[in-house]
């Protein structure tokens, strides 16, 4: 394998990682502030993708679709928070797992009821389609570069939001001591709804961005959800920085594992079964990574103990 | 809910469960297990609708019990038990996915039920595992991949890059392609089942120096791959089986699929009167274009109806013989059964085109004529 | 507590009486449904020890359920094909005998649970949930891409395995067998809960530090509970595979773990008969709602939400009142 191809694969890994970060950031924020474990985060991702597909299908504008995805996911998030999630903060993890598992069923079948059983269409806008020539002779899709850019911009914006704004102060205070922040006169209900809607909007954005190059279909959120959980566990639950590092680690491990393991396996089990065995090990690679990280640091790379 | 409410509710549910199982009249009873909810629901809905359309048009006394397997093998097995033990059906059909077929069919046919497969054709049931009670009305799983391999030869491709998910149907697909394909392989890749991002694979394809790409990625995987492939700027021709280019899925792929050649035993524009009538009546009944799966459901029902005219289902030997004659007008033109009761049929090459706003397929060539399958020789039936 | 005993007895009688009635009425499929409920209840009883008594929210019990299933599938497949297994040079014949298969399933489940438990129990809370989920998914992907035993297609066993003195192909006999196993395990659980081990485990859920302070190792305590829990769930998995005469990676999917949790919570967490109530309810809902609408899972989801939000303590809790603390 040439070095240039390897570099291109690293870029692919970074792109997958950045996309995972958008999912994981919301998940980890919600856990950090409210202590809630939200299995339905993948459903919000799906809501974003469907909203983008529906609106850009009607208007022909990808940007309007993105805006719709953000709005729809944030609205769905706020609604779910006020109707259901709010009652779960004081509950144990078991109730949270079960209630959000129920939400998955409702969202998935509800979406199928609204949009039918066939996948929807959402495409890359023409001004972002096709490849662009990078140094070293790498032809790389423009759209994927744009996804990397958006992801990095969101990461920067989140860092600013949490580190440098009044809302961020409240969020950090909420993580540290819930009673205290309520005592200080912050409307805790409003803060929680806001944080949940923000996390949902990030998931919706990820869904819309990814929907353009993948399949917009019911159940699309679940594989990503599990990857996002792996990310935040590796990074340390509640830490945005951890989510970023974890997302890049998972993206790179997954991509490079898929590329390199079949090659490595050729030397171990021979070319006959290298493709299947390599692919089998590659599909488990990120879970092995997670187990290793937790063996060394039981609360993740950036987690508080 | 009050405590009393709980008890009443539970009792009501039990009672409802009982009434559901009550027996019906004396028409021929068909049990259909198919996928109607979750990710693969579109396929099952099309098979069901095609089947029911044919029953309606024929106006014969067929009682169809439709059940949703949720694409879960254990649910499918449980439904098969229900249809056999409780509904006492005569004939079973409907399963979409091979893994569910392998869970249900061997035991159902062993219990003496006739099974007509409208979609899945796993190799285990075509060779030594063939059964007089099992009829496949779609294709043996390898068929469309074999046709893709044959087409690659005639299109002058000599260096293919091939990929499929790492599960039995994926491994069979690549085997099927290689059975007819005579050129070199630029690369052979297995991806994860349910994988959604193919950037790494596409980069390998680009670097491999191949002159064509064959892929088998059913469902959402194919949509993702095609979109990302089109966006990557790699422009070598793609070939695949019809599953990733079918009517239900094509609108979601969009322009990325335009011009792609795919192999199928059926197409909307296949020129025979049965097919023309089918396409028109399906559209009139359901307000959408029929898919490959709808045509298979339609043919399955018509095969069954043709046998009903010749024999009584109570006489199993005569009914099986009547089915084996395949004396019905298929939407795909000529159709007959091989010794292993799998189809012998032509398989075509289609091209994805745009008619107005709708993406669809038209036939451009015939890949294989009167193709049976590679396993029939191992089947002890004659 | 007395009321809960009455509810428990009613559940035991309902689960036994319904299939007997179905047998009398000539409805063999309803017996099969009851068998499904009994076996899922058994899996739930296993999970309930970790989840309810131990407070260990495992989202990876599908791994044990599936491991039990594969123990049955692999052994019966080798017997069916008359092809002995070759493990490290030893030839081991397959078997179609349920007691042997159950023993192997229990051992497999226990071994897997001790591995997963030893690694996951070092963490707690959300990390524990996520770790069990990840290990479960690892097992799932392994089963899918492991070609020797059918991969994604799974394995079909044509004839149900045998049990000495019974005709297991007869639905009512197989049901009675499953019911007997379920009752035996529930009896064992009842003894376990009031044993020093059970009491210490429950205490460790509420206050690990205090238990540690009196000199009991919390980690070891939880590990033992997790292993017993995994072993019972694996036993249920082997019986579930026998009910279907089929085994596939779907049993290992995380949705299966979710459904097992649903069974426990619907019925009542940490209640002895909670999983029995939950399994009866889930199987009934699946069967009845599935007949009403293609979108029945929406109603299932709404029902679940209602139970979690408003009917804490599940079905048994609603019927028997809040007898045990659930935190």
Contacts of A210 in chain B (CB under 8 A): 196
Q: Report how far residue C12's alpha carbon sits from residue C33's, in angstroms, rounded to the nearest whole number.
A: 16
- pLDDT surpassing 50 at residue C126: yes
Q: Report how far residue A256's alpha carbon sits from residue A1's, in angstroms, rounded to the nearest whole number.
A: 12
pLDDT in tens, A117-140: 778 888 888 888 888 888 887 888
- pLDDT surpassing 50 at residue B6: no
In DSSP notation, B236-257 reads S-EEEEGGGGSHHHHHHHGGGG
Interface probe, candidates C260, C297, C306, chain A, greatest A C-beta count within 10 A: C297
In contact, C308 and A102? CB cutoff 8 Å: yes
B45 touching chain A per CB within 8 A: yes
pLDDT value for A272: 65
Q: Chains contacting C with at least 3 CB pairs below 8 Å? A: A, B
Judge: C156–B107 Cβ closer than 8 Å, yes or no: yes
A134 touching chain B per CB within 8 A: no
> How far is C297 from chain B, CA to nearest CA, in Å?
9
Of the candidates B285, B237, B246, B290, which has an alpha carbon nearest to the alpha carbon of residue B264? B246
Domains, chain B, ordered by start: 143-264 (3.40.50.2300)
- pLDDT surpassing 60 at residue B4: no
SS3 sequence of chain A: CCHHHHHHHHHHHHHHHHHHHHHHHHHHHHHHHHCCCCCCHHHHHHHHHHHHHHHHHHHCCHHHHHHHHHHHHHHHHHHHHHHCHHHHCCCCHHHHHHHHHHHHHHHHHHHHHHHCCCCECCCCCHHHCCEEEEHHHEEEEHHHHHHHHHHHHHHHHHHHHHHHCHHHHHHHHHHHCHHHHHHCCCCHHHHHHHHHHHHHHHHHHHHHHHHCCCCECCCCHHHHHHHHHHHHHHHCCCCHHHHHHHHHHHHHHHHHHHHHHHHHHHHHHCHHHHHHHHHHHHHHHHHHHHHHHHHHCCCCCCCCC
In contact, C251 and C72? CB cutoff 8 Å: no
Judge: A258–B223 Cβ closer than 8 Å, yes or no: no
pLDDT value for A282: 82
Judge: A117–B45 Cβ closer than 8 Å, yes or no: yes
Of the candidates B153, B151, B150, B178, which has an alpha carbon nearest to the alpha carbon of residue B164? B178
Name the band, by pLDDT with cuts 50, 70 and 90, for residue B10: very low
Domains, chain A, ordered by start: 8-120+132-296 (1.10.3470)
For C:261-280, CB contacts with B below 8 A are 280
CA distances to A106, B195, C1, C78, C137 from A226, rounded to whole Å, are 18, 13, 40, 35, 9
Judge: C250–B122 Cβ closer than 8 Å, yes or no: no
Closest residue to C250, CB basis, from B17, B72, B106:
B72
- pLDDT surpassing 50 at residue B23: no
- pLDDT surpassing 70 at residue A224: yes
A116 touching chain C per CB within 8 A: no
Judge: C304–A101 Cβ closer than 8 Å, yes or no: yes
What average pLDDT does the structure give for chain C?
Answer: 88
What average pLDDT does the structure give for chain A?
Answer: 88
pLDDT, average across residues C198-206:
90
Q: Report how far residue B108's alpha carbon sits from residue B116's, in angstroms, rounded to the nearest whole number.
A: 11
- A42-46, B27-31, B127-131, C152-156, range with the lowest pLDDT: C152-156
Name the band, by pLDDT with cuts 50, 70 and 90, for residue C82: confident
What average pLDDT does the structure give for chain B?
Answer: 88
Q: Which residue has the higher pLDDT, B249 or B4?
A: B249
- pLDDT surpassing 60 at residue B213: yes
pLDDT value for B299: 96
Judge: C171–B85 Cβ closer than 8 Å, yes or no: yes
Q: Report how far residue B326's alpha carbon sits from residue A303's, in angstroms, rounded to the nearest whole number.
A: 67
Contacts of A216 in chain B (CB under 8 A): 252
Q: H-type helices in C153-273, by residue range?
A: 171-194, 196-206, 208-213, 218-244, 254-267
Q: Report how far residue A20's alpha carbon sits from residue A18's, in angstroms, rounded to the nearest whole number.
A: 5
C147 touching chain B per CB within 8 A: yes
pLDDT value for B336: 93
Judge: C134–A94 Cβ closer than 8 Å, yes or no: no
Closest residue to B20, CB basis, from C144, C158, C291:
C291
How far, rounded to the nearest angstrom, does the alpha carbon of residue C190 sit from its chain's CA centroid?
16
The residues, ordered by sequence, that sit 6+ positions from C9 with a Cβ below 8 Å of its Cβ are none
pLDDT value for B42: 84
Element (H, E) at B41: helix B41-58
A12 touching chain B per CB within 8 A: yes
pLDDT value for B329: 94
Angle between helices C254-267 and C274-292 (to 10 degrees): 110
Q: How many helices (H) and strands (E) does chain C have?
A: 13, 4
Q: Report how far residue B299's alpha carbon sits from residue A7's, in angstroms, rounded to the nearest whole number.
A: 51
In contact, C124 and B142? CB cutoff 8 Å: no
pLDDT value for B72: 84
pLDDT, average across residues B112-119:
94
Portion of chain A with pLDDT greater than 90, in percent: 42
Of the candidates B74, B132, B126, which has an alpha carbon nearest to the alpha carbon of residue B100? B74
For C:61-80, CB contacts with B below 8 A are none
Contacts of B204 in chain A (CB under 8 A): 5, 259
Interface probe, candidates B18, B66, B167, B175, chain C, greatest C C-beta count within 10 A: B167
pLDDT, average across residues B75-103:
90
Judge: B233–A130 Cβ closer than 8 Å, yes or no: yes
Task: Specify the DSSP class assigned to residue C54.
Answer: S
pLDDT value for C147: 72
pLDDT in tens, C229-286: 999 999 999 999 999 888 989 899 988 999 999 999 888 888 899 999 999 999 998 8
> How far is C160 from chain A, CA to nearest CA, in Å?
31
Q: Report how far residue C31's alpha carbon sits from residue C19's, in angstroms, rounded to the nearest whole number.
A: 5
Residue showing tokens 């890749």: B189
pLDDT, average across residues B16-30:
55
- pLDDT surpassing 70 at residue C326: no
Angle between helices C62-81 and C125-145 (to 10 degrees): 20
Q: Report how far residue A76's alpha carbon sits from residue A221's, in angstroms, rounded to the nearest whole number.
A: 15
Name the band, by pLDDT with cuts 50, 70 and 90, for residue C325: very low
Contacts of C130 in chain A (CB under 8 A): 229-230, 232-233
Structure tokens at A291: 């187990």
Judge: B189–A275 Cβ closer than 8 Å, yes or no: yes
Judge: C291–B6 Cβ closer than 8 Å, yes or no: no
Q: Three-state SS for B361?
A: strand
Judge: C248–B103 Cβ closer than 8 Å, yes or no: yes
Judge: B38–A108 Cβ closer than 8 Å, yes or no: yes
pLDDT value for B339: 93
Half-sphere exposure (Cβ direction) of C44: Cα atoms closer than 13 Å: 32
Judge: B224–A213 Cβ closer than 8 Å, yes or no: yes
Name the band, by pLDDT with cuts 50, 70 and 90, for residue A164: confident
Judge: C171–B98 Cβ closer than 8 Å, yes or no: no
pLDDT value for B375: 93
CATH of span C2-320: 1.10.3470
pLDDT value for A1: 61
Cβ neighbours, 10 Å, residue C25 = 11
pLDDT value for C1: 63
For B:265-304, CB contacts with A below 8 A are none
Q: Is the predicted ipTM greater than 0.85, yes or no?
A: no
The sign of the CA dihedral C316, C320, C321, C322 is negative
In contact, C123 and A296? CB cutoff 8 Å: no
Structure tokens at B257: 């699929």
The sign of the CA dihedral A211, A213, A215, A219 is negative
Beta-strand relationship, C246-247 and B134-136: unpaired
- pLDDT surpassing 80 at residue B284: yes
Interface probe, candidates A23, A46, A117, A139, chain B, greatest B C-beta count within 10 A: A117
pLDDT, average across residues B120-135:
91
Judge: A230–C305 Cβ closer than 8 Å, yes or no: no
For C:39-98, CB contacts with A below 8 A are 51, 57, 59
Closest residue to C248, CB basis, from B16, B73, B85:
B73
pLDDT value for C122: 84
Judge: B86–C28 Cβ closer than 8 Å, yes or no: yes
Q: Chains contacting B with at least 3 CB pairs below 8 Å? A: A, C
Portion of chain A with pLDDT greater than 70, in percent: 98
Instruction: Determine the straight-line distance between the first and last CA of chain A, rounded to whole angstroms.
Output: 42
- B123-137, C154-168, C284-298, range with the lowest pLDDT: C284-298
Of the candidates B223, B44, B232, B288, which has an alpha carbon nearest to the alpha carbon of residue A216? B223
Q: Three-state SS for C74?
A: helix
pLDDT value for A305: 55
A292 touching chain C per CB within 8 A: no
Domain boundaries, chain C: 2-320
For A:231-250, CB contacts with C below 8 A are 232-233, 237
Say what the alpha-carbon torsion angle A249, A253, A256, A262 is, to the nearest 10 degrees: 170
Find the angle CA(C255)-CA(A277)-CA(C157) to the nearest 5 degrees.
55
Judge: B190–A275 Cβ closer than 8 Å, yes or no: yes
């Amino acid at each position: 394998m040439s070095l240039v191809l390897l570099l291109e694969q690293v870029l692919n890994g970074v792109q997958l990682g950045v996309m995972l970060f958008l999912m994981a950031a919301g998940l980890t924020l919600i856990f950090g502030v409210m202590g809630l474990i939200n299995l339905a985060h993948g459903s919000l991702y799906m809501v974003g993708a469907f909203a983008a597909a529906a609106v850009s299908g009607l208007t022909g504008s990808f940007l309007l679709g993105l805006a719709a995805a953000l709005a729809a996911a944030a609205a769905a998030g706020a609604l779910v928070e006020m109707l259901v999630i709010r009652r779960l903060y004081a509950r144990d993890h078991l109730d949270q797992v079960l209630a959000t598992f129920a939400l998955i069923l409702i969202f998935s079948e509800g979406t199928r009821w609204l949009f039918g059983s066939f996948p929807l269409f959402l495409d890359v806008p023409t001004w972002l389609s096709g490849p662009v020539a990078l140094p070293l002779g790498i032809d790389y899709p423009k759209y994927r570069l744009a996804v990397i850019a958006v992801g990095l911009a969101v990461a920067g914006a989140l860092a600013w939001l949490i580190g440098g704004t009044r809302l961020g102060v409240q969020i950090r205070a909420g993580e540290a001591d819930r009673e205290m922040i309520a005592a200080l006169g912050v409307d805790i209900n409003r803060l929680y709804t806001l944080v949940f809607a923000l996390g949902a909007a990030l998931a919706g954005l990820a869904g819309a961005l990814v929907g353009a190059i993948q399949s917009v279909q019911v159940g699309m959120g679940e594989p990503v959800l599990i990857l996002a959980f792996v990310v935040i566990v590796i990074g340390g639950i509640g830490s945005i920085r951890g989510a970023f590092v974890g997302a890049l680690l998972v993206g790179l491990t997954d991509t490079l594992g898929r590329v390199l393991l079949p090659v490595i396996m050729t030397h171990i089990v021979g070319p006959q079964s290298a493709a299947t065995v390599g692919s089998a090990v590659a599909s488990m690679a990120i879970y092995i990574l997670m187990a290793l990280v937790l063996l060394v640091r039981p609360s993740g790379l950036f987690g508080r103990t | 809910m009050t405590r009393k409410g709980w008890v009443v509710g539970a009792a009501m549910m039990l009672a409802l469960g009982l009434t559901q199982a009550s027996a019906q009249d004396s028409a021929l009873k068909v049990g259909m297990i198919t996928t109607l909810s979750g990710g693969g629901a579109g396929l099952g809905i099309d098979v069901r609708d095609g089947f029911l359309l044919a029953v309606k048009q024929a106006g014969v006394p067929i009682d169809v019990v439709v059940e949703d397997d949720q694409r879960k093998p254990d649910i499918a097995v449980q439904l098969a038990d229900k249809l056999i033990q409780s509904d006492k059906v005569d004939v079973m059909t409907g399963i979409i996915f091979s893994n569910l077929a392998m869970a249900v069919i061997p035991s159902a046919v062993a219990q003496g039920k006739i099974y007509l497969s409208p979609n899945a054709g796993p190799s285990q049931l075509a060779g030594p595992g063939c059964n007089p009670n099992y009829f496949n009305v779609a294709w043996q799983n390898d068929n469309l991949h074999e046709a893709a391999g044959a087409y690659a030869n005639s299109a002058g491709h000599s260096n293919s890059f091939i990929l499929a998910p790492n599960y039995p149907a994926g491994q069979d697909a690549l085997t099927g392609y290689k059975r007819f394909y005579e050129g070199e392989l630029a690369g052979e890749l297995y991806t994860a089942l349910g994988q959604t991002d193919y950037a790494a694979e596409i980069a390998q394809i680009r670097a491999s120096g191949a002159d064509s790409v064959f892929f088998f990625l059913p469902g959402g995987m194919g949509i993702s791959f095609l979109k990302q492939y089109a966006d990557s700027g790699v422009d070598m021709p793609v070939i695949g089986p019809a599953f990733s280019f079918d009517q239900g899925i094509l609108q979601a792929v969009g322009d990325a699929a335009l011009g792609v050649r795919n192999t199928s035993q059926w197409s909307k524009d296949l020129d025979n009167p049965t097919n023309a009538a089918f396409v028109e009546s399906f559209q009139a009944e359901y307000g959408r274009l029929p898919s490959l799966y709808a045509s298979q459901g339609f043919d399955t029902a018509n095969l069954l109806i043709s046998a009903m005219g010749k024999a009584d289902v109570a006489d199993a030997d005569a009914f099986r013989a009547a089915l084996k004659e395949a004396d019905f007008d298929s939407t795909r033109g000529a159709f007959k059964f091989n010794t292993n009761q799998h189809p012998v049929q032509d398989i075509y090459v289609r091209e994805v085109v745009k008619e107005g706003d709708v993406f669809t397929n038209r036939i451009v060539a015939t890949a294989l004529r009167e193709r049976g399958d590679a396993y029939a020789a191992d089947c002890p039936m004659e | 507590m007395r009321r809960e005993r009455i509810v428990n007895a009613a559940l035991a009688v309902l689960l036994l009486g319904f299939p007997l009635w179905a047998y009398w009425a000539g409805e063999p499929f309803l017996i099969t449904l009851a068998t499904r409920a009994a076996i899922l209840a058994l899996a739930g009883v296993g999970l309930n020890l970790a989840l309810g008594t131990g407070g260990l929210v495992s989202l990876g019990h599908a791994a044990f359920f599936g491991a039990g299933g594969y123990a049955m599938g692999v052994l019966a497949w080798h017997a069916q094909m008359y092809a002995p297994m070759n493990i490290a040079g030893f030839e081991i014949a397959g078997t179609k005998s349920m007691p042997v298969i159950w023993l192997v399933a229990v051992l497999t489940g226990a071994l897997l649970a001790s591995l997963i438990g030893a690694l996951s129990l070092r963490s707690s809370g959300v990390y524990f949930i996520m770790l069990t989920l990840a290990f479960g998914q690892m097992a799932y992907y392994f089963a899918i891409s492991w070609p020797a035993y059918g991969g994604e297609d799974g394995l079909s066993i044509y004839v149900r395995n045998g049990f000495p003195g019974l005709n297991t192909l007869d639905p009512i006999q197989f049901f009675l067998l499953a019911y007997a196993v379920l009752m035996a395990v529930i009896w064992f659980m009842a003894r376990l809960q009031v044993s020093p081990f059970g009491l210490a485990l429950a205490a460790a859920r509420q206050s690990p530090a205090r238990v540690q302070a009196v000199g009991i190792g919390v980690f070891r305590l939880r590990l033992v509970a997790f292993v017993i829990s995994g072993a019972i769930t694996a036993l249920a998995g082997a019986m579930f595979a026998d009910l279907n005469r089929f085994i596939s990676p779907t049993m290992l999917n995380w949705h299966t773990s979710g459904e097992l949790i649903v069974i426990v919570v619907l019925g009542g967490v940490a209640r002895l008969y909670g999983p029995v109530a939950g399994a009866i309810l889930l199987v009934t809902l699946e069967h009845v709602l599935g007949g009403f609408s293609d979108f029945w899972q929406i109603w299932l989801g709404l029902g679940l939400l209602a139970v979690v939000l408003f009917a804490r303590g599940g079905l048994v809790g609603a019927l028997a009142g809040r007898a045990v603390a659930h935190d």
